[in-house]
Structures are given as C-alpha cells and as structure tokens.
Chain A
C-alpha cells in the first residue's frame, strides 16, 4: 500500500468513525472490509485503525478480531480478555449497558478466562498501545485549542510557561510511546510499547485536564470521555504499572537489559 492509498484509507476510516461508534461502527467497518484488511495488511490496518479510534473518540470491539486472528481464528466473535488485577472481561459486540468507568464500552466482567497465547497478547498490546496513543493525542489537541483560545490576565493561557511546559511534556511522552510502538516486534517489545503508551496517555490525561481548568471538568467538554477511555484501556492486557513491574522482574531474572532495537 503506497502513501496515497494509506492516506485515502485513513480518511475513509476517520469519516466512518466520526459518523458511528460501537455496534454501528463495527458493522460499518465490516462493510468497508475490515476483516480482509486485517488479514492481508495487519501492519497497516492495526496501527491506523486503533490510533484513529483514539483520535476520534469512537469505539468498536475490534480488539477481539486482532486476538482471534493471532490465534488463527476468524474475526467477528469475542474472546476473554485479561484485565489488570487478575480480572477477566469480555468486550461484547453489542451496545449493552456496562459498569465500566467508560460506560460506552460494552465490557462485561467474567469469572475467569483462558490465558491468551503469547502472539495474541503481543498483538493485542500493540493494538491497545496505538489506541491509547490516539486517545492521548486527542486530549493534547483539545488542550492545545483551549489554551490558545482562552485568555486570563489579559493574555492567552498558551503564553504561560507552566502551561506550555505541561503540554510539551505531554508531547514528549506521546512521541516516545509512538517510537516504541513503531519498534515493537516481539512479545517484550509489545509489552514495553503498551506500557509506554499507557503511561503517555495517563500523562496526557493529567496535564490536559489541568490546563483545561473548570471547563475540562464538565461533562459537556469532550475531555472526560478520553480520560475515562484512557483509564479503562490502560488496564486491558496489563496496565502500564503492571507491565513495568513484569519487565523489571524479567530483567532481574536474566541479569541483563535486552537491547531490542538495533541499527
């Protein structure tokens, strides 16, 4: 797929995600050929689609498809997903009520589940990493617009260094996370990328919430949806904190720090 085709695909996906979410988006994407795209061009399809879910704020149960594919099964069903703290959830393919902090996501708590295979875990973590990254970028975009538009003390908020540095920090974390996602190939790389993306999105949530002040605390402003999504997605297939600890244990056992990325 060349650059122009990729841009066209991104445009189409973005439009579709802006128009629909949840079950409606799931079927719209099916009509667009999501299954074929995932089967034939996973390295294009997954980063692009999941990042755009984050950026647009839409959601769809596509994580199931990524995991099913890694297990050699056809897309369209669901699979039990490990959640932080030893819990299990199912991401349903309909728009049911949910008790999740992000109530839009049709997550159902399960008593238990079958452990995912390593390739499935890695693929799922990369997909979620891209989603978290997109969510982080969405929050940064909202905060950026706000600080440029709003005036206090006779100056735009964007002229205050404390505000600027918070947003700069956010960008640094997001860019770093994106680099780890682009470099993620094996299980450890995918784990690190999910941890970096989770951390970056949490940083974005904290800083963007702060610079948005009171308006960002209202339900009318879009920020809270992204904050909720960040918190919930971070826990799926291992939170940033859990994954960081896991990699620390791995390092301690092996006694050396793997150099995953080579020139």
Chain B
C-alpha cells in the first residue's frame, strides 16, 4: 500500500480485511485498568500494522494521507467495540497540538510513543477555579532563578518552575506526559503551554471517583515542578491559541468516532428492548443521524482545506443532545434495567450525563453560537 494512492475506500476495505484476520476484541476485564490496557494493545497492533499511522505526517512517523483516514479507522474501532471511544480519541487532540506547537524534534520523538500505545498522555487545562472560564487559570510558571542551563529566564532558554493544580484531568493517573496550560502573565496572552513529563518531581496525581464508576480522571498537583524551556509548546503566551486550535480537531475526527459508537448502542437498544415505542426510537435515531450528517459535512470542509471555527459549536450541541437523548431513550425502553441490574447501560447512561459538560458546556456552546454565529454582540 502506498500512501500517495490511499483513498478512503481502499483504506477501509484493507483495514476491514486486516481486522477480520487479527482479532483485537477486548477481554473480560472492563475495569478502567483493563480499558486502558486494551487501548494500548489496540493502538500498538494498529500502529505496527501501519493503520494507525495513516493520516499523520511523515515527520512523526506517519504514513501521510488525508485526516479522514483517521476518522475511518476510529469508526471501525468503534463499530467493532475494540476500544472505549472517549479515550481512544484523545490522540486526535494531543497529536495535532504537538505537531503544531512542539519543537519538531520533540514531536518526532514523542508522537510515535503515543500513537503506538506505548504511552498515554493527558490534557491539563481545567483547574478548581477555572472550568468554563478557562482563561482565568492560575497555575503559575516562572523562569527559574539561577537555573541549571545557561542563565535564568525564558528568553535565554532556561528552566521554568510550575506550581498549581489541575482537576478532572482524564487519564492523568496513567499518563506519561501532559499538555499543560500555565499562566506566565496577565490575560489571554499570558497563558503558556508546556509538555510535561508526569514523573517529574513535584507532581502528585490523586485519582477522583467519578459518578459512573469508571474513575477516568484525576487531580494533578504541581509543586515547584521544573520543566526545561525546550518543553514549551510554542512561545510564551501562545497557550490560549493552542487551546483554541485543538477544538477543530476534537470536533471533527473525534466526533465521528463517537457518533459511530452511539450507532452501535442504538443497535444494541433495538436488540434488547421489547417496548414498541416508535416515536422514541425514531427520535433517537433522527437526532443521531442529524449529528452524523453535520459531522460528515464538517469533515468534508476540513478535507477541502477549510479552517474550522465557531461553527463547530453546532456540531458539539447536536452530538451532546443526541447522546443524551439516546441514553434517555434506553432508560425509558429498558425499564428497570439500569436501575436494578449491573448492566453496561448503567455506566454508559451515567457517562452520557457528562456530554453537555466536557469539551465546553452546552451553555458555553450556545454563548459562542449567539455571539459568533448569530452576531448578537456581547452578553
């Protein structure tokens, strides 16, 4: 297979044949440890066979080709239930960030470790005092006085010292590295991103219990954590732009993966329910189909070279709404199942409650739509 000739149809059929021959189905361990181990196994196998490398540039050991190949891969992974889609899709925001902002040598070394499943990474943005209002974050990075390398200070390439706290950081307890937002000055222009090794002295990770029982996120405490200047992503003050730049990635490929996953859950519901509530089933399907149609249009725009912007807030609202409707419908049409039995529906129903919170809450999306798409001015 030559990447220059790789189109979606060839990629998909080749991938399907390969997946049919190489069984990557998860084992019986559905704990978070099990899910993370399974994710690493799937990534490694797909990387070694090349599939995981398509759609990424050669600089990071990719095999090139359009980004849509990654959407196809994630869809197949979701349709076959090989990996939990939320954590599977994390590469879609982390890798583009490294490619765009890391020194090229760092991206070249690090990205293959993530893609091949040898490492997990996390994204440390939110803080106890800064969720929706991310730009108010206070985790501080200051140039180290009398640093080890050269003289002190950022401009001269010395170390930085980071102190603060992150919260709800998904997979922090498994992560080898973190894309971390810090404050180096006032305002939006005073936010700076670093790529931090999680085993650096001064970092403490405390797992948090989640409502759905899969404790996927953690608190991260940073206490005088020394980070070399060459681990800065971009330049001082680029952090806000970095955070904005990763939204389009999250809202194209990742969304397609998630929608594929939700279709499998609707199939499961159709299989398990005996309740002939066609209104509810039809409405759940219509909402999912709508999210899929919108996401498809977004991927196409991306493929045509469009720069994605605030219009992806529409995709986000459609997806979150469809996800919650689907699981609400499951609860209605499988009465008592998630309340009384330890069925997978319970965990997934509960997790769907977060769909309007993570990645920017539903209200924040509507604020963006009102301001940027409808031109209603400031609120």
Contact = CB atoms under 8 A, between A and B. Distances in A.
A156 to B, nearest CB: 7
B312 to A, nearest CB: 11
Contact of A261 (B271, B279, B292, B317): B292
B282 A182 contact: no
Q: What band does the interface of chain B fall in when counting residues whose beta carbon is under 8 Å from A? A: 35 or more
Given A180-B293, A252-B276, A263-B299, A247 B286 contact: yes
B72 A263 contact: yes
A148 B286 CA distance: 33
B285 A248 contact: yes
Nearest to B298: A179
Contacts of A161: 367, 379
B376 to A, nearest CB: 4
A241 B75 CA distance: 30
Given A247-B285, A249-B278, A176 B366 contact: no
Given A171-B373, A176-B290, A257 B267 contact: yes
B283 interface: yes
A165 B366 contact: yes
A248 B280 contact: yes
Interface string A197-234: 00100000000000000000000000000000000000
Contact of B282 (A147, A156, A247, A260): A247
A171 B263 contact: no
B370 A261 contact: no
A99 B272 CA distance: 46
B334 interface: no
Secondary structure dominating the interface of A: helix
B1 interface: no
28 contacts: A144-B376, A148-B377, A158-B377, A160-B379, A164-B376, A165-B366, A168-B365, A168-B366, A168-B369, A172-B314, A172-B317, A172-B369, A175-B318, A176-B290, A176-B291, A179-B290, A180-B289, A180-B290, A182-B297, A244-B286, A246-B278, A251-B281, A252-B270, A255-B271, A257-B267, A257-B270, A259-B292, A263-B72
Interface of A: 144, 147-148, 156, 158-161, 164-165, 167-169, 171-172, 175-177, 179-180, 182-183, 192, 195-196, 199, 241, 243-249, 251-252, 255-257, 259-261, 263
Interface of B: 8, 68, 71-72, 75, 256, 260, 263, 266-267, 270-271, 276-283, 285-286, 288-294, 296-297, 299, 311, 314, 317-318, 363, 365-367, 369-371, 373-379
